[in-house]
Amino acid sequence: MKTSLVDGQTLKGMFTSGTVWLEKNAPEINAINVFPVPDGDTGTNMLLTMHSAIEEAKQNTDSTASSIAKSMAHGALMGARGNSGVILSQFWRGLARGLEGKNSFNGRDFALALAEASQAAYEGIVHPVEGTMLTVLRDAARAAEEATKTNSENLLSVVETATEEAKDSVARTPDLLPVLREAGVVDAGGQGLYVLLDGALHFLKGEADKIQYQKPQLVMANLPLASKMTLTTEVELPYGYCIEFLLEGQKLNLSNVGKKLRKKGQSVIVAGNSSMLKVHIHSFKPSEVLDYATRLGTLHQIKIDNMDDQYAEFIKAQKERTPKIGTAIVTVASGDGLFEVFNSLGATIIVPGGQTMNPSVRELLQAVQSAPSDNIILLPNNKNIILTASQVESLAPKRVRVIPTRTIPQGIAALLAFNYEMDLEENTRTMEQAISTVQTIEITKAVRGTQINGQKIKKGQFIAILNDEILIASSNNTNGISDVIFESLTKADIEKAEMVTIYYGAETQAAEAEHIAQEIRNKYQTEVEIIRGNQPHYNYIISLE
């Protein structure tokens, strides 16, 4: 490919290929998570952010570099999910700024745009941390600038140099962040950025076949623990298409069908017998699922629902049942039990989302715009949604205040402090103070083996996160869940708590939750309330006030 001077169509092609390359390794990037809990969704968040950017660019018929870059920046911002997605959207904001007014660009132009992208990414973070994708982007931009000193026109040479430096920078991230070194992993966001640039590089080299039939080689940490790790997990696709059908055939193998479909989507359910199977799956590509199924037999009762439309209808239904109010509360939660809790406490609109399912800027903005008030308080209730929520403040044609709630109990404490007689600013101050009065314990199972805070953790062990910081692992798997709960309560100084609230999850029986609650009452003589949260992933979320 001629790479001395290219237009916006080439830019679109580069990062469309980069997105395909990223999609192939999103599960492995998701698995690069310091804490071995089911919330490592960096790969998915970056992928969905890029999907939105590419979709916006496809709607633009202009071929100028400036116009396409602006479209991709807008699409990335609206589709940004999680911290990695927001940083990626800032990358595009800076890149568009660097290509402003250009019909076409060469290597020198792209290097300057990368420098702008790096600056924008750093500016978008209040407390930037080195050893993350920010560092990888900065190093790549510096290498690109250096490459222009020998051949400033050649785009291929500049992108190749930037990509190689990004790869090396990812490998260095554990040297900059001790928590990465101890866990034996590189930075997931940096890994995703490298893969994105590598895909763009393959496009410039004319290697479309390689992108289609191969997978990128990820950067592994040069650490003893890294060699023992298996970085595999599902790609979480909270939106896309919900596909259901009956498959009629002969000698159908339920296990094999399920295994094959799990490679094509998630939330896979296959039930039935050798002659008739009931299938449920979430996928962005329903045609692939149906093509596979039709090779096995005959399909009946096919149902395909666009989950983005379902989400819009869900928000619309909440808007229609709520009268105009002075200040509206928009909050994020997952699990019908937690929905009921937030509804009962006066939340105006609840956005489905949380662990492994971070809502996008567009979805939060849609909820804010649907709320029947010009004054909005937004509760993200998850550390990986706060940065996304903060983008809404400048986009919404309303007065929006984000309370930085990092957990569900903090969101509930903030909502309990809300007073309809106060104005927006008074409520914001009061609710921000309220979140400091609650401690949160979250109980789940380790999704992989790792080492953190000096502890060796095995896959399947019950673990606890106390106040989003301290990791506690059970000593055994027999009474593990009880052990880890009581050790967490001790570390949280339960003796000082006046009230303990237990929200039990979708995989937990009410009888087990009641038994643990009674043990807490007996041991600490404190008031304990049990609530069915039905949240996914976490067996228990415990609030201490």
Residue 226: the pLDDT is 43
Task: Clarify whether residues 328 and 460 are in a common domain.
Answer: no
The answer to whether position 46 is within a domain reads yes
pLDDT in tens, 504-544: 998 899 999 999 999 999 999 999 999 999 888 889 999 99
Q: What is the DSSP string of 307-324?
A: HHHHHHHHHHHHHHTS--
Total structural domains within the chain: 4
- b/e sequence 443-467, b meaning 16+ C-beta within 10 Å: bbbbbbbbebeeeebeeebbbbbbb
Alpha-carbon distance of 204 to 201, in angstroms, equals 5
Tell me the CATH number at 167.
Answer: 1.25.40.340
**pLDDT exceeds 50 at position 229:** no
Task: Clarify whether residues 205 and 96 are in a common domain.
Answer: yes
Task: Clarify whether residues 377 and 246 are in a common domain.
Answer: no
Task: Clarify whether residues 224 and 264 are in a common domain.
Answer: no
| Single-letter amino acid, residue 382 | N
Contact partners, residue 92, CB within 8 Å, separation at least 6: 53, 69, 72, 73, 76, 77, 117
Tell me the CATH number at 361.
Answer: 3.40.50.10170
Domain end: 178, 194, 228, which one?
Answer: 228
Are 453 and 384 in contact by the 8 Å Cβ rule? The answer is: no
Measured CA to CA in angstroms, residue 45 lies from 90, 392, 544 at distances of 14, 17, 31
Question: Of 433 and 477, which is predicted with more confidence?
Answer: 433
**pLDDT exceeds 90 at position 209:** no
Task: Clarify whether residues 214 and 143 are in a common domain.
Answer: yes
Tell me the CATH number at 533.
Answer: 3.30.1180
Tell me the CATH number at 261.
Answer: 3.30.70
The answer to whether position 140 is within a domain reads yes
The answer to whether position 373 is within a domain reads yes
Domain end: 170, 198, 228, which one?
Answer: 228
User: What are the backbone dihedrals phi and psi of residue 298, each rounded to the nearest 5 degrees, phi first?
Assistant: -105, 140
Rounded to 5°, angle at Cα 149 from 148 and 154: 35
Task: Clarify whether residues 353 and 221 are in a common domain.
Answer: no
Question: Of 448 and 277, which is predicted with more confidence?
Answer: 277
Coil, helix or strand for 24? helix
Task: Clarify whether residues 35 and 109 are in a common domain.
Answer: yes
Question: Which pair of structure tokens corresponds to residue 55?
Answer: 């979709």
Task: Clarify whether residues 80 and 179 are in a common domain.
Answer: yes
Residue 185: the pLDDT is 86
pLDDT in tens, 90-130: 999 999 999 999 999 999 999 999 999 999 999 988 888 89
First-last CA distance in the chain: 63
Average pLDDT of the chain, as a whole number: 87
Task: Clarify whether residues 40 and 183 are in a common domain.
Answer: yes
Task: Clarify whether residues 10 and 134 are in a common domain.
Answer: yes
Question: Which pair of structure tokens corresponds to residue 539?
Answer: 């067996």
Task: Clarify whether residues 180 and 294 are in a common domain.
Answer: no
Question: Of 470 and 262, which is predicted with more confidence?
Answer: 262
- Put simply, whether the predicted model's pTM sits higher than 0.75 gets the answer yes
Question: Of 222 and 401, which is predicted with more confidence?
Answer: 401
Residue 224: the pLDDT is 47
The answer to whether position 482 is within a domain reads yes
Residue 225: the pLDDT is 45
Domain end: 201, 228, 255, which one?
Answer: 228
Count Cα atoms within 13 angstroms, Cβ side, for 462: 21
Domain that holds residue 409: 322-415
The answer to whether position 52 is within a domain reads yes
Task: Clarify whether residues 512 and 533 are in a common domain.
Answer: yes
**pLDDT exceeds 70 at position 222:** no
Rounded to 5°, angle at Cα 38 from 32 and 42: 45
Question: Of 372 and 3, which is predicted with more confidence?
Answer: 372
Residue 263: the pLDDT is 79
With a pLDDT cut of 70, the percent of the chain lying above it is 90
The answer to whether position 314 is within a domain reads no
The answer to whether position 251 is within a domain reads yes
pLDDT in tens, 97-108: 999 999 999 999
| Lowest-pLDDT choice from 137-141, 288-292, 306-310, 491-495 | 306-310
The answer to whether position 383 is within a domain reads yes
